[in-house]
Amino acid sequence: MTVKTSSLWDIAEKQTALIEDLDHSLEICLSTRLKETGFDFGQSVTCLKKLPLNGPRLYQVADSVFSIEKSVAEKIYIKEAK
């Protein structure tokens, strides 16, 4: 099943999505860091874990796992989620 969603924050646990774009309001150094980290156009990202109280979430991208807080994850747009 393919579900249209808007940001990385919206995907459910164990769901995978492809990165569409990064919000253009992000500071250049932050968007560069995110791209270098693997949150770049066309890359596949899986949500591994959601922490309580809207805490940072765990995302797997390539061979690494990152925890990202809501304010950043909401600015990473995804194309699709499976």
Number of other residues whose CB lies within 10 A of the CB of residue 57:
20
Q: What is the footprint of another protein within residues 14-53 (CB under 8 A)?
A: 29-30, 32-38, 40, 48-49, 51-53
Report angle CA 53, 13, 7 to the nearest 5 degrees: 80
Q: How many residues bind another protein (CB under 8 A)?
A: 30
Q: Which is nearer to another protein, 12 or 62 (CB)?
A: 62
* Sole window of 4-12, 17-25, 63-71 interacting with another protein (rule: CB under 8 A): 63-71
38 in Cβ contact with 22 (< 8 Å): no
Q: Which is nearer to another protein, 50 or 79 (CB)?
A: 50
Q: Say if residue 39 is exposed, middle or buried (CB neighbours under 10 Å; 0-12, 13-18, 19+).
A: buried
- Footprint of another protein (CB under 8 A): 29-30, 32-38, 40, 48-49, 51-56, 58, 60, 62-69, 71-72
